[in-house]
Structure 1
């Protein structure tokens, strides 16, 4: 039988409860061997034996549901805690719950045996905490703890599989989006247009322009499958990109960098993150030689802060947010820290975390 093809059957509530009843009934038969009255009378499956199994299964289902509910409640309360600590808390709570449930069963079993069949052996064993009854109680406790642990870890495993598959798809999509947005055909054709004009005006500058353009695209192609690069590597790439922007826009764009040397060499960020932010700033703001757009990059509190004044272009379309979403997705794949966006009528600021790899 193929498990994946029949997974809806195995995941259904009917199958779940039937399997629980079967397991509990099997354990009820085993548990009877610890009550010598069943063995001595050789009546394991008489009316008293059937009533015992029925009581065992009913009580077990209630305790089982209680353990599931308790697990979910703990997960909801401490879901943000580290996995190891969450597991330790869950195990401790289930141990206590299992002990209470086991002794509760021993007490109810003894009382019901007196009321229904006028048998006092179970009560005497329960009061004396005999070895036989304690071992039987331990079996019941082990049943609850083990099976709830299996269910919990199976659910966690399935959730992990789904999450891993989702992240893998998002990783591929993010890389595709990054490549699509970074190698912008309009930017490429504009660069060729600028180069056409430069060829006639300044052959030397044209050669420099071609060199920097080649560096820009070589970086994009070389780093497209890497999750992280050093800040210095990104700034070196940005230098080539800004050279192209300065040739095209002259002194209309000014770029300020204040990043400490230690951050440059040790800090890591996703490749082309800064270029996407600067490209957005150039795309959505007005600038001129008399009123240049000043884009600033500095490090602050473990982040690279990219800021620019807001000068919305008249009649320009609203930003689709693809560039920012792209960066956010890539950070979600490699870190638990996300980017922070601060926007006002005067300034647009994006903070991207600096990742330190030990």
Structure 2
């Protein structure tokens, strides 16, 4: 299971980029919570998760990724059982039942489920790579995905459900299904979304309505966070107001500035140039994952890395899109930068899996 040669092929560029993002995230969290007693220990908590996360990357990278293929079914059952437990005894916050307290730590299982589904779908598509054009294979993969997503929707957690569905579609395409079929399924998905819209929670419907039909006269209400995010981003200019000196952030006009809107926070403090630099590092991480996928020794390893790259790309795009008010508000964080222990741990596990694929495939060239 362990390979002594793992460090020879370990992707140090990928690891280094993740470390830089995590350290920058801690610094941004520290700035955004300054003077807020309720959030006083958030930066310390994130630091502890980062240290644990880096250790997890190294441990997961040492384990041959093929080992996880044999546990895919077990992971799938574990994920469903855990999500059902959350519905029964989980903590309710902001109208959703998503968290459970374990050893004094709030855990959000749906974050871990993202990685579980990447493993499960990579295993499924790798075993059925010669039957990817068969409608039965496609339906089985969808049923496999829906079997997990339904429990997340019941929390309710629409954003994470969409992430998993997007990952499924991306891995379906990467497994060899022609784009025209993906487009066909996308159209069906849009039609189904329109049909199911009345069944969404009221606050979810309201977010969509606020995006499509914003009220320009609302000084404080449903559009407040997005409007303040745009003001915050605009006030940063080219080079920003300086670390810890953003007026919108430090005077707390911008809400949830250490999680959902941390992109706006860093735009105010480091400006357009600073945000481009951070986005560039995130793109670099995604490209390294794709590089690993292309050089993988087998379809399972390739799909693991591709699946995680798709997750990173979508989650990054959505978070930035929300901050720029080009898509409705969601609860997706900026990978490795936003505050959130469960989110960070799921991401580092994903990075560990990608590193394992790199370490147990042919040598990388730099």
TM-score by length of 2: 0.25
When you count strand as a share of all residues, which structure comes out higher? Answer: 1
The structure whose Rg is larger is 1
TM-score by length of 1: 0.25
